[in-house]
Amino acid sequence: MKRAMITLYLIPRNVGVVLLRVYRAVISPLYGDVCRYYPSCSAYALGAVQEYGLIVGSFFAARRVLRCHPWAEGGIDDVPLKRHRRFGVTSFGFVVPLATERADPHVWTS
């Protein structure tokens, strides 16, 4: 029951994950490697939405896109991770509730 509730709660961010995966598969290659940061803006957005959900994650992503301009220093700029990770991530990128018997939250992270 709890699992179902969590799955429901995770729907918005997983919709975001699908959209970002489509963007990264179809639109990103059109202009190739241009980002001055690692991970690139869209990868950052994906990570942020997975970690913080659709709304807060989008906010993070928007801030990152604004940071990324030709005069920025660039470099490594990871999504700040939460201290307690409550969810797992499938290889596709979907955020899923952790199976209760699994103690290590990173078990599904590819």
Partner 1 sequence: MDLIGTILWPLKWVVELLLVAFHWLFSNLGMGYNDGITWVLSIVGLVLVVRAALIPIFVKQIKSQRKMLEVAPQLKKIQDKYKGKKDQFSREAMSRETMELYKRTGTNPLASCLPLLLQMPIFFALFSVLNDAQRSNAGVGPLNQALATSFGNANLFGVAPLHDTFAQQWGLWTGGQDFNLSVMIIAATMVVLMTASQFITQLQIVSKNMSPETKASPMFKQQKIMLYLLPLVFAFSGVAFPLGVMFYWLTSNIWTMAQQFLVIRNMPTPGSEAAKAREERLARKGKLIATDGDVIVVDEAKKPAQRQQPVGKARAKKQTGPKK
Helix H segments across the chain? 2-9, 11-26, 28-31, 41-52, 54-67
**Does 75 help bind partner 1 (rule: CB under 8 A)?**
yes
Residue 95 identity: V
For the chain, what's the residue count?
Answer: 110
Q: Which of 10, 17, 20, 35 binds partner 1 (CB under 8 A)?
A: 35
At its nearest, how many Å lie between partner 1 and the CB of residue 37? 7
Q: In the chain, what is the straight-line distance between the N-terminal and C-terminal CA atoms, in Å?
A: 27
Binding mask 12-31 for partner 1 (x = CB under 8 A): -------------x---xxx
> Interface residues with partner 1 (CB under 8 A)?
25, 29-38, 41, 65, 68-76, 110
